[in-house]
Structure 1
Amino acid sequence: MTDLLYRWPIAAKFGSRVPKERFYEHGTVIYTVRDRFVSEVQRITWAYKLAEVTINLPGSPMVPEVQVFQIDTKAGDLSEPVLAAIDKAIPFPVIFEITRGDGANRFVRMVAAHKQLGVGAPKLSAYYSTGWQPADTERQPLPTAITLPALYVSLLDPLTPVTLRPGEEMSEIAARLQTVWKLEREVSALEKKLRTEPQFNRKVELRRQLRDRMAELAPLIDTATPMTEDPPWTNC
Structure 2
Amino acid sequence: MIGLPKTTEFNKRIPKQKFYENMDISPALKKVFVEQVRSIYWKNKIAASTTNLAAGTDVTELEVLEVRLRSPVPDASLLRQIDKEIPYHILFLLEYQGKYQAWIGYKEAAASGTNAFKVNGYYHTAWLPEDELPLKVEGLSVDKVYENFVRQIAGDTLKTADAGETLKESVARSEQKQQLEKQIATLQAKIRKEKQLNKQMQMNTELKKLKKELEVL
TM over 0.5: yes
Change (3 A) 1:168 1:195: same
Aligned twin of 1:175: 172
Change (3 A) 1:91 1:210: farther
For 2:126, give the aligned amino acid: G
Q: CA deviation at 1:78?
A: 1.5
Per the TM alignment, residue 196 of structure 1 is displaced from its structure 2 partner at its CA by: 7.9
Identity over the aligned pairs, expressed in percent? 24
2:63 to 41, 61, 67: 67
Alignment coverage as a number of residue pairs? 210
Give yes or no for the alignment of 1:127 onto 2:127.
Answer: no
Uncovered stretches (5+) of structure 1, i.e. residues with no partner: 221-236
SS across alignment from 2:56: coil
What amino acid maps onto 1:158 in structure 2?
A: Q
Deviation at residue 211 of structure 1 after TM alignment:
5.3
In 1, Cα distance between equivalents of 2:22 and 2:214? 38
Q: What is residue 18 of structure 2 aligned with on the other side?
A: 22
Cα shift at 1:190: 5.1
How far, CA to CA, are the matches of 1:26 and 1:204 in structure 2?
Answer: 57
Aligned residue in 2 for 1:108: 100
Given that 1:115 and 1:123 are in contact with CA atoms closer than 8 Å, whether structure 2 keeps it comes out as yes
Distance 1:215 1:194 in 2: 19
Q: Report the TM-score when normalising by structure 2.
A: 0.80
Provide closer, same or farther for how the CA distance between residues 212 and 6 of structure 1 changes in structure 2, counting only shifts above 3 A.
farther
Partner SS for 1:158 = helix
More helix by share: 2
Instruction: Tell me which residue corresponds to 1:159.
Output: 153
Task: Evaluate the alpha carbon distance shift between residue 141 and residue 108 of structure 1 in structure 2; reply closer, same or farther with a 3 A threshold.
Answer: closer
SS class of match (1:133)? coil
Give TM-score, length-normalised by structure 1.
0.74
Paired residues of 2:191 and 2:203 also in contact (CA < 8 A): no
Q: Where does residue 37 of structure 2 map in the other structure?
A: 41
- CA RMSD between the two structures: 2.9
Cα–Cα, structure 1 residues 219 and 108, in superposed 2: closer, same or farther, change >3 Å? farther
